[in-house]
Amino acid sequence: MASAPDNTLPMFYQDLVPLNTRDHATWKARAVDKAQWLAGHHAVPLTAEEFPQAGRHFPIVFASGDNTVPLALMGLNENVNVFVEDDGTVVPNVYLPAYARRYPFMLAKLQPTSEELSLCFDPSSGLLGDFEDGQPLFDGETPATATTAALQFCEQFEQAGQRTQNFVEELKKHQLLMEGEVSIQRPEGGPPFVYRGFQMVDQEKLRNLRGDILRGWAQSGLLPLIYAHVFSLELISSVFGMQVQQGKGPQPVAPPLPAF
């Protein structure tokens, strides 16, 4: 979840350029009421501190593989987001992950050997440009309010990302993550739909942890985050139901044609 550009750009981003007064002195940021960049993305990275809010709206799982980041499941199938319409219209009052709210900005290293992060943006977003309307990005040589706010938000996101990495490492240390599997019965009957390819907390191992570890986690605030994840898994069936209602549910496999 570290925000550093490499050969593969992070989700949502088509390109990254550093924001500067030389090239963008007269540019402005447009206000938007849609999130087109979120449409069609079913799993969006989360920071651990977002669990209590996000867990009220969608399931929280952990990515499988080496890059074990928390994910908000905004859909259960590829290219399906039941909370964001194809034109970017967001379901009213739904929580949007900070990862999505920081777009088109992000902090990135301009030089691979440097530890310094610079405020960059995706020029293909259409959200920043030499527009007549919008909030100025610069006041002469000084960052304007919109740029300062974006920088602060991205800095806070990076800090939250580091705390999230520590949270995940703590779960791994105690071997609490297990490969998940969810089975959902088909409305029309027949074999259930089975979803895999994610990780979740092993509740049996959690119950059997030593009391001093659980007490420490309760005092540090880690334990409530774990339970926010566990409770959010109950929403998987709700998201599946939304997919079916919106006509985006997985299609049943057609039975084989009879032989003649």
- Answer yes or no: is 218 within a domain: yes
What pLDDT does 83 receive?
97
116-139 pLDDT, tens digit each: 899 999 999 999 999 999 999 999
- Answer yes or no: is 86 within a domain: yes
**Least trusted range by pLDDT, from 57-71, 79-93, 120-134, 237-251:** 237-251
Residue 55 domain boundaries: 17-245
**Nearest Cα to 122, choosing from 134, 108, 139, 105?**
105
Overall domain count for the chain: 1
- Answer yes or no: is 136 within a domain: yes
Q: What angle do CA 70, 51, 127 make, to 5 degrees?
A: 75
For residues 150-173, average pLDDT: 97
What pLDDT does 251 receive?
56
Pair of tokens at residue 138: 């610069």
DSSP letter assigned to residue 129: E
Three-state DSSP state, 164: helix
CA distance 96 to 47: 12
CA distance 223 to 159: 20
What pLDDT does 224 receive?
96
Pair of tokens at residue 230: 């566990």
Q: How many CB atoms lie within 10 A of CB 38?
A: 23
| Cβ atoms 74, 41 nearer than 8 A | yes
| Cβ atoms 245, 75 nearer than 8 A | no
Q: What is the dihedral of CA 29, 31, 35, 37, to 10 degrees?
A: -10
What pLDDT does 164 receive?
97
Q: How many CB atoms lie within 10 A of CB 112?
A: 8
1-51 pLDDT, tens digit each: 233 334 488 999 999 999 999 999 999 999 888 999 999 999 999 999 999
CA distance 157 to 115: 17
217-253 pLDDT, tens digit each: 999 999 999 999 999 999 999 999 999 899 887 754 4
Pair of tokens at residue 101: 């709210």
- Answer yes or no: is 168 within a domain: yes
- Answer yes or no: is 8 within a domain: no
- Answer yes or no: is 175 within a domain: yes
Q: What is the CA radius of gyration of the chain?
A: 21
- Answer yes or no: is 160 within a domain: yes
What pLDDT does 190 receive?
75
> What ranges in 174-256 are assigned the alpha helix state H?
203-207, 211-220, 222-232, 236-245
**Least trusted range by pLDDT, from 71-85, 111-125, 162-176, 204-218:** 111-125
C-alpha 4 chain-centroid distance = 16
- Answer yes or no: is 118 within a domain: yes
